[in-house]
Amino acid sequence: MFVTFRGLNGLEAFSVAEPVLKASGLSQPESRGTAPPRPQVIHLATGNAHKVAEFQRLADESGLPVKIVPAAHMPPVDEDTGTFAGNARKKALALKALLPWDTWVLADDSGVCVEALGGAPGVESAYYAGPQHDSAANLRKLTEVMREVPAGRRAAYFHCVLLLRGPDGQERVFEGRCEGVLAREPVGGQGFGYDPLFIPAGHERTYAQLSESEKNLISHRARAWAGLAAHLRSFP
Ligand code: IMP
């Protein structure tokens, strides 16, 4: 039997075979038949301090009393599943395997998807210019690849998947998207990654020209977080 997880907007879904969940041993407390209490601490499956701070800010801004803690030792994970949700799940499982069964783990995966490139770089966003993970090189490559693409064909969106795995072995997946277009040249000094090239819909400035709080109102991560926050609020 398969358990299907679906994002709030139904855009992406994936299934996990129940025997796989059971075989992991992580589903053990499910048999107790009691829902776990609302998490007060969530372990983020990343060693990236910037991400931890960003999620903590999102939690604080949504009024949720939850502490986001970084993975003390995030094991290396090959992001090779071909989907945002699959990659997030791999990260969550890799960290969860190192922690006590009653911990909550959150993993994310995100990227920029360009219509004229058939959705690329997408799940490959972090490695677009090669496996060296150099975000300046990634930005340069996307700028060059898009150089001759006319104004009407520069649509792109950022996509974020958040996967929360609880003590009972249950997983919930939340998704967020921010639509926009790509600028011709990188502009702006804030943010990271592809921020200087991406102009969100309804704006004239790139992500990299917005303040952190302006970006947090519209970003793909903030939108995915909103779904997660609503889920956390629904706990008794
Ligand atoms: P990951 O989600 O940590 O695997 O990162 C995916 C890649 O997508 C990052 O290395 C960035 O290149 C890109 N990315 C994800 N979110 C953003 C963003 O908010 N701004 C700019 N680039 C981003």
Q: What is the pLDDT of residues 98-124, one digit of tens each?
A: 999 999 999 999 999 999 999 999 999
Cα of 123 vs centre of ligand 1, distance in Å, is 9
Residues 170-220 have pLDDT tens digits of 999 999 999 999 999 999 999 899 999 999 999 999 999 999 889 999 999
Q: Which residues are catalytic?
A: 109
Of all residues in the chain, what percent carry a pLDDT higher than 70? 85
Residue 148 pairs in a beta bridge with: none
Ligand 1, atom 19: closest residue by C-alpha: 195
Whether the CB of 110 sits within 6 Å of ligand 1: yes
Length of the chain: 236
Mutate to test the pocket of ligand 1, among 50, 87, 110 (most ligand atoms within 8 A of CB): 110
Domain at 107, CATH number? 3.90.950.10
pLDDT at 16: 35
Mutate to test the pocket of ligand 1, among 74, 91, 108, 112 (most ligand atoms within 8 A of CB): 112
Structure pTM?
A: 0.86
Whether the CB of 209 sits within 6 Å of ligand 1: no
CA 100 – CA 107 distance, rounded (Å): 17
Cα of 98 vs centre of ligand 1, distance in Å, is 25
Higher-confidence position of 32 and 233: 233
CA 141 – CA 111 distance, rounded (Å): 15
Q: How many domains does the chain have?
A: 1
Cα of 1 vs centre of ligand 1, distance in Å, is 34
pLDDT at 236: 80
Q: What is the mean pLDDT of the chain?
A: 87
Ligand 1, atom 8: closest residue by C-alpha: 111
Residues 13-70 have pLDDT tens digits of 333 333 333 333 333 444 345 667 889 999 999 988 888 999 999 999 999 999 999 9
Mutate to test the pocket of ligand 1, among 48, 140, 194 (most ligand atoms within 8 A of CB): 194
Cα of 111 vs centre of ligand 1, distance in Å, is 5
| Structural domain containing residue 208 | 2-233
